[in-house]
Amino acid sequence: MLYRAEPRSDKNAAYSLGFRVPQEADFEDLIPVKVGLKTQILPADEAAVAMAARCLTEGGLVAFPTETVYGLGADAARAPAVARLYEAKGRPSFNPLIAHVADIAAARQIARFDRTALKLAEAFWPGPLTLVLPKTARCPVAELATAGLDTVAIRIPAHPITKALLRAFGGAVVAPSANLSGHVSPTTAAHVAGDLTGRIDLILDGGAVAVGIESTILACLDEPMLLRPGGLPREEIERVLGHALQRPPEDAVTDNAQPLAPGMLASHYAPRTPVRLNASHVEPDEALLAFGHAAPEGAHAAKAVMNLSETGDLGEAAANLFGYLRILDAESARAIAVMGVPHHGLGEAINDRLRRAAMGR
Ligand code: TXA
Ligand code: MG
């Protein structure tokens, strides 16, 4: 068996989301994976982008930079390519993917936009916003990629390399973050290579990404609802809408609840080292993930220290977050102590990822 996809027959709207509650076994019983592919890593110049587009056309798997994090792309319309993608990531099959397209015209072939969705698309695309919308009748995205839902997640990325790749390929590309399922999202090509060498065909190296945290996901089915805080701060969306966004129910991100965006599984972003949040001091053998200029008690004895942003800049902190977690995770520390990060603007997404990291795997 290639994958364990179980498209559901009872199709729900996205935020009643027709996924069964994930079981512990889903994580232990990940998809069997063929390793041993020759994974090429190429600087993302014009020739490499053309090669990547061909590779996608042939059903291959290509990792590429977006402005948020590196994505692992497959032809959205080809179920076997999507199956390979789930397989390469070891991703639980109940977790649907984001379709990436080049422009609004392409987006409208896939999803139905109401007035609000159009307004948001015009305001924020291309950029780090994903909209969950009803599928069109002729939606070309494979059922496997949407986990059998009636809705589809879609975004137009802003990164010049992603745009060039989408233009050269000519269709929709589904792309989760280019890491093994459960690992921290990659912000450099080296992170991708560390997780996926031997499992995918090609990595386009476009350097470090700018935003560093995944896109904000908004369901636009009736009242817009924030499913995942991300690279576009909530406040900017609320400014365009002219009112506050509906919040998902409090228990949406606990392991026992039906996840809203299925990827909101509580322990999604987990380093191997335990993570201790809101640390005001550093304990023996701990590494420190700092924020701001003030050093907490015991910082001088920390096994390693990385500062998300000495000046307290949340954009800089978001861009550094996943890379620094990886660096500290490699220190064999007893735990990673994390200083508090303010909760406004990009801080909401940063705190969301940190909370998940702290829940372990
Ligand atoms: O910034 C990003 O969004 C990156 C780059 C590569 O574009 N992609 C990314 O994809 O973070 P991924 O697969 O790691 O996260 C996609 C999230 C998952 O939590 C998934 O459950 C949710 O989108 N999702 C996809 N389709 C959905 C749908 N129809 N309804 C609700 N949530 C959906
Ligand atoms: Mg991910």
Does any domain span residue 116? Answer: yes
Atom 27 of ligand 1, nearest CA residue: 153
Give me the CATH number covering residue 282: 3.40.50.11030
Mean pLDDT, the chain, whole residue set: 86
Query: Average of pLDDT values for 312-330?
Result: 93
What's the domain range around 350?
A: 275-358
Tokens describing residue 7: 């498209």
Question: What ligand is nearest to the CA atom of residue 270?
Answer: 2
- Answer yes or no: is pLDDT of 111 > 50: yes
Q: Could you identify the atom of ligand 1 that is nearest to the CA of residue 97?
A: 25
Residue 217, pLDDT above cutoff 90: yes
Residues 67 and 147 grouped into a single domain: yes
d(CA 319, CA 323): 8
Is 343 a domain residue?
yes
Lowest mean pLDDT among 27-36, 73-82, 176-185, 309-318: 27-36
Nearest CA to ligand 1 atom 18: 263
Query: Are residues 65 and 163 both part of a single domain?
Result: yes
Residues 314 and 293 in one domain: yes
Question: Does 303 map to a domain?
Answer: yes
Output the CA 82–ligand 1 centroid distance in Å.
14
* pLDDT computed for residue 257 by the predictor: 36
Under 8 Å between Cβ of 163 and 173:
no
Distance 178 CA to ligand 1 centre (A): 12
How many CA atoms within 13 Å lie on the side-chain side of 7? 12
270 belongs to a structural domain: no
Same domain (yes/no): 161, 260: yes
Residues 130 and 107 in one domain: yes
Backbone phi and psi for residue 203, each to the nearest 5 degrees, phi listed first? -120, 120
- DSSP secondary structure, 182-238, as one string: TSPPPSSHHHHHHHHTTTSSEEEE--S-SS-SPPEEEE-SSS-EEEE--SS-HHHHH
- Looking at residue 19, its pLDDT comes to 34
Least confident of 7-21, 124-138, 269-283: 7-21
Number of domains, the chain:
2
Question: pLDDT of 158-207, one tens digit each?
Answer: 999 999 999 999 999 999 999 998 888 999 999 999 999 999 999 999 99
Q: How confident is the model at residue 147 (pLDDT cuts 50, 70, 90)?
A: confident
pLDDT of residue 271: 87
The tens digit of pLDDT for each residue in 40-96 reads 999 999 999 999 999 999 999 999 999 999 999 999 999 889 989 998 998 776 689
Band the pLDDT of 222: cuts 50, 70, 90: confident
Ligand nearest to the CA of 268: 2
Ligand 2 centroid from CA 113, angstroms = 25
Among candidate residues 239, 264, 289, the one where a domain is terminated: 264
Residue 19 lies in a domain: no
pLDDT attached to residue 34: 55
Residue 205 sits in the same domain as residue 288: no
Shared-domain flag, residues 287 and 142: no
Residue 12 lies in a domain: no
Choose one of 207, 242, 264: the last residue of a domain: 264
The distance from CA 148 to its chain's CA centroid, rounded to whole angstroms, is 20
pLDDT above 90 coverage of the chain, percent:
73
CATH code of 192's domain: 3.90.870.10
Neighbours of ion ligand 2 (CB under 5 A): 177
Query: How close is the Cα of 72 to the center of ligand 2, in Å?
Result: 10
This prediction has a pTM of: 0.84
Spacing, Cα 188 to ligand 1 middle (Å): 19
Q: Quick one: 283 and 199 in the same domain?
A: no
**7 found inside a domain:** no
Name which residue sits closest to atom 10 of ligand 1, judged by CA: 176
- Span 23-48, average pLDDT: 69
Residue 163, pLDDT score: 98
Check whether residue 243 and residue 288 sit in a common domain. no
Q: Are residues 230 and 341 in the same domain?
A: no
| 5 alpha carbon – ligand 1 mean position (Å) | 17
Do both 120 and 161 map to the same domain?
Answer: yes
Identify whether 173 is part of a domain.
Answer: yes
The pLDDT assigned to 28 comes to 40
At 249-307, the pLDDT tens digits run 655 544 333 445 555 544 456 788 999 999 999 999 999 999 999 999 999 999 999 99
How many whole angstroms separate alpha carbon 143 and alpha carbon 93? 11
179 and 287 share one domain: no
Measuring from each residue's beta carbon to the nearest atom of ligand 1, which residues come in under 6 Å?
A: 14, 66, 68-69, 71, 95-98, 130, 132, 146, 149, 151-153, 175-177, 214-215, 217, 227, 261-264
